[in-house]
Structure 1
Amino acid sequence: MHLVFATSIVPHAAPATGYEIANAAIIDALRRAGVRVTVLGYAWPGKEPSDPENTVVLGAVDVRTENASLPQKIEWLGKAMAAGLTFSSIKLRAATPDNVKAALRAIGPYDGYVINAVQLAGAFEGLFADKPSIFVAHNVEFRSAEENAESATGLLQKFLYRREARLLKGIEARLCANASFVWTLADEDRQALGVEGNLRSAALPLVTRLAPPPAPSRREIVCDAALVGTWTWQPNRIGLDWFLESVVPLLPGDFRIHIAGHLPAGLSSRHPGVSFVGRVPDATEFVRGAAVIPLISRAGTGVQLKSIETFELGLPAVATTRSLRGIDRIPENCVVADEAEEFAEALLRLAKHGAASDVDGRDFYRRQRDALDAQVRLGLVKIGAASRQAAA
């Protein structure tokens, strides 16, 4: 079977975001199942695809809103309003529909599509309806937009997020209705999208690496807690704000917290132990230097890849319930806490033990990957049957 993996950003050599890590895991699982996969999408500016022989690049775009100039943001917004598209999809209109059609003709023959998230399909709606498809819902995007609207403080922001939510709800409904099968990254997202039956969908347990993690080894503790992420993404920012405003003030002044990743302008904390360290060369080594990992998601849908990576590494963690979406078996060294007081107490308790609380994450990795392969096969059976029916 030959499938076109239609995505906003094609895989690159070193996946940096949760979206890219998830894409790499799904593509690898498809190929383990014997599927020929050709990836179609945009490249990051200045970066080459990780698998150029099986990748068709529509052009180079930087889709990150925080990197865009004010005139660029205004241009995107104006075009989105005029075209009736979402803000996220209008950024992907660098290529024309004719460009996409030509790229698909060059790829052929193929049996169907894996439509990876709503952004590219929303930008070119209808172009991927001529063959059977599997829709990969990384998140319930309309729900995330609704939550962003609730947390926004400005009237314009609220209006724009509500507009995104309304448009995304329609796009997601159409993609699910047209798909032979739907893959979500968290089981609860199946119900939110109206595809909860086992004949319609499956949740994909993910892994964050193509090879098993190493066995537990000695590590040097340089801070009590470490967090890394793209904090300019609104669902992540909601969790970070809760952590800094509600949890951190409950921790003693000598509790050392290192926060890495892309940070929004003006972010600060009065706690003397909090350090914002920006980008780090090796995120794995960064978190391995912490006694405990706070997993602080309070909004959004889909799965938290940082939680999965933490468990693969066997590191002790304190996690909110939202941080554990898409994860069935929680390691013994993870404490679940949703209230600020409980979260702070658990951080202090686990930080005292440090690396002594580590577990072997290889078993967690094996279970996740085996379950991923099983769920991928369910979708392939459905799209295979639809492809044969279409060809008959």
Structure 2
Amino acid sequence: MTKLAAVMRAAFAVFSGRPLQQGYVNSRASRVAVRRAVAELEPDLIYFNTLRSGQWRKVVRDTPARMAIDLDEFRSAYYQQASEVSTILKRLVMKMEARRMRAEEAKIVAEFEAVIISSPADLRPEHSNVHLVRSPHALKTAHRPVPLADRPTIVFVGRMSYAANVEAVTRFCRDVLPAVRQQVPEVQLEVVGDAPTKAIRSLADGHVRVHGRVDSVDEHYLSAWLSIVPVTTATGVQMKLIESLELGVPTVASPLVASLAGARAGVDVAVADTADEWIEEVVRLLESPMERQELGRSGKAWARQNYSVDSITRALGAALLEPRSAAQHTAAE
């Protein structure tokens, strides 16, 4: 499957009515391979990964195997969000893709015995076949001692070529950091993440350091007084939030990021929406070691409870082994 061929299939999908995401991978070779594998293996369970592969359920519709799909999230919401902040042409494409993906997601929920999502915000109480299985995360059992930075230090970790991360850091530096510096003059922001854009690199000064790709983010988290996740365009769970909480770093996040993860605002993670709220929360925590310690302790306990191997294994087992309901039998037939 060449990239050029995949792009051409996605372009053709514009006229076929299917989501571009599915058109991108919808090759004859893939359909034949799926059909052949199922015929040869005669599996009890067929596990589809993401909406892209969900279209191949039609290829094996006659199999008696149980069918499960790991959507991770209802991605149509991301395209809807992106359509509201894009250029005119991109907005049109994003709106079209959001609409088509919503329709496909509805079909998937109706036809699959098990639909797996990673965010509690995506649970659908009216559909018992939608299961919360949090994304596996390698919880650290031991850390090399890393001293806390000498000066008040804030860290943001994320892929810095990703538009949502670029927007979040740029906005924080423009609307929040100057006011924080007035009250905490020595504050420093560490931006850690692969492929920083020109806009991000241009933020570097005496109070902002841009690191780019690093071998390990742990030491940057552990030396920071505070971690931030001011992302406002997101779906699913931001793993940067889970990394930060699991390491015990007190964290301030946008309401969207906290709610998608299901973390308790003000208990496991501090939450800020407007620029004034961000300034208030950041300054409060930088000036209060005891509040930072309590927030970090609570966030770490929450992350370890929800992202342990045992809890994820139990949730996955329940999703994959739950008996079919009568309604799902009908949908599968």
TM-score, length basis structure 2: 0.78
Query: Cα deviation per residue 1:335-391 (whole Å; 9 max; x = unaligned)?
Result: 2222221212222332345697253876434421354344333313325779xx89x
How far apart are the structure 2 equivalents of 1:348 and 1:145? 34
- Name the aligned partner's letter for residue 339 of structure 1: T
- Name the aligned partner's letter for residue 302 of structure 2: F
Larger Rg over CA atoms: 2
How far apart are the structure 2 equivalents of 1:232 and 1:128? 38
How far apart are the structure 2 equivalents of 1:361 and 1:236? 22
2:285 corresponds to which residue?
A: 350
Question: Is 1:208 equivalent to 2:137 in the alignment?
Answer: yes
Shift >6 Å, 4+ stretches: 71-74
2:319 corresponds to which residue?
A: 379
How far apart are the structure 2 equivalents of 1:198 and 1:78? 33
- Name the aligned partner's letter for residue 303 of structure 1: V
How far apart are the structure 2 equivalents of 1:275 and 1:163? 39
Question: Is 1:291 equivalent to 2:229 in the alignment?
Answer: no
- Name the aligned partner's letter for residue 213 of structure 1: T
2:69 corresponds to which residue?
A: 135
How far apart are the structure 1 equivalents of 2:60 and 2:14? 23
CA RMSD after TM alignment = 3.5
Contact 2:161 2:196 in 1 (8 A): yes
Question: Is 1:187 equivalent to 2:126 in the alignment?
Answer: no
Question: Is 1:196 equivalent to 2:131 in the alignment?
Answer: no
Contact 2:191 2:212 in 1 (8 A): yes
How far apart are the structure 1 equivalents of 2:211 and 2:320? 43
2:50 corresponds to which residue?
A: 117
Contact 1:312 1:361 in 2 (8 A): yes
Contact 1:134 1:383 in 2 (8 A): no
After superposing the two structures, state which structure 1 stretch, 370-379 or 139-148, moved more.
Answer: 370-379
Describe the shift of the 1:175–1:238 C-alpha distance in structure 2 as closer, same or farther (beyond 3 A).
Answer: farther
2:179 corresponds to which residue?
A: 250
- Name the aligned partner's letter for residue 159 of structure 2: T
Q: How does 1:263-274 map to 2 (within 5 A)?
A: 263=195, 265-268=197-200, 270=203, 272=205, 273-274=207-208
Question: Is 1:88 equivalent to 2:21 in the alignment?
Answer: yes
Contact 2:221 2:227 in 1 (8 A): yes
How far apart are the structure 1 equivalents of 2:44 and 2:78? 32
Question: Is 1:339 equivalent to 2:268 in the alignment?
Answer: no
- Name the aligned partner's letter for residue 46 of structure 2: Y
Query: Cα deviation per residue 1:235-256 (whole Å; 9 max; x = unaligned)?
Result: 4445345434432343317431
2:154 corresponds to which residue?
A: 225
Question: Is 1:278 equivalent to 2:212 in the alignment?
Answer: yes
TM-score, length basis structure 1: 0.68
Q: Which runs of 5+ in 2 are unaligned?
A: none
Contact 2:192 2:214 in 1 (8 A): yes
How far apart are the structure 2 equivalents of 1:73 and 1:257? 40
State the Cα distance separating 1:177 from its structure 2 match: 0.7
Structure ranking higher in strand proportion: 1
State the Cα distance separating 1:110 from its structure 2 match: 1.2
- Name the aligned partner's letter for residue 141 of structure 2: P
Contact 2:120 2:262 in 1 (8 A): no
How far apart are the structure 2 equivalents of 1:75 and 1:372? 38
State the Cα distance separating 1:96 from its structure 2 match: 3.2
Question: Is 1:301 equivalent to 2:241 in the alignment?
Answer: no
1:47 corresponds to which residue?
A: none
State the Cα distance separating 1:308 from its structure 2 match: 1.4
Question: Is 1:145 equivalent to 2:79 in the alignment?
Answer: yes
2:110 corresponds to which residue?
A: 177
State the Cα distance separating 1:99 from its structure 2 match: 2.8
State the Cα distance separating 1:151 from its structure 2 match: 0.8
How far apart are the structure 2 equivalents of 1:265 and 1:80? 31
- Name the aligned partner's letter for residue 185 of structure 1: S
State the Cα distance separating 1:149 from its structure 2 match: 0.4
Contact 2:160 2:197 in 1 (8 A): no
How far apart are the structure 2 equivalents of 1:72 and 1:247? 45
State the Cα distance separating 1:104 from its structure 2 match: 3.7
Describe the shift of the 1:333–1:161 C-alpha distance in structure 2 as closer, same or farther (beyond 3 A).
Answer: closer
Describe the shift of the 1:217–1:277 C-alpha distance in structure 2 as closer, same or farther (beyond 3 A).
Answer: closer
How far apart are the structure 1 equivalents of 2:92 and 2:174? 26
- Name the aligned partner's letter for residue 121 of structure 1: G
- Name the aligned partner's letter for residue 221 of structure 1: A
State the Cα distance separating 1:259 from its structure 2 match: 1.5
Question: Is 1:259 equivalent to 2:155 in the alignment?
Answer: no
Task: Give identity over the alignment, percent.
Answer: 19
- Name the aligned partner's letter for residue 266 of structure 1: K
1:239 corresponds to which residue?
A: 168
Query: Cα deviation per residue 1:238-285 (whole Å; 9 max; x = unaligned)?
Result: 534543443234331743112122446432355732232211111222
How far apart are the structure 2 equivalents of 1:248 and 1:76? 45
> How many matched pairs?
313
1:367 corresponds to which residue?
A: 305
After superposing the two structures, state which structure 1 stretch, 331-340 or 141-150, moved more.
Answer: 331-340
1:168 corresponds to which residue?
A: 101
After superposing the two structures, state which structure 1 stretch, 241-250 or 287-296, moved more.
Answer: 241-250
Query: Which residue, 126, 129, 150 being the options, matches 2:58?
Result: 126
2:262 corresponds to which residue?
A: 327
How far apart are the structure 2 equivalents of 1:183 and 1:100? 21
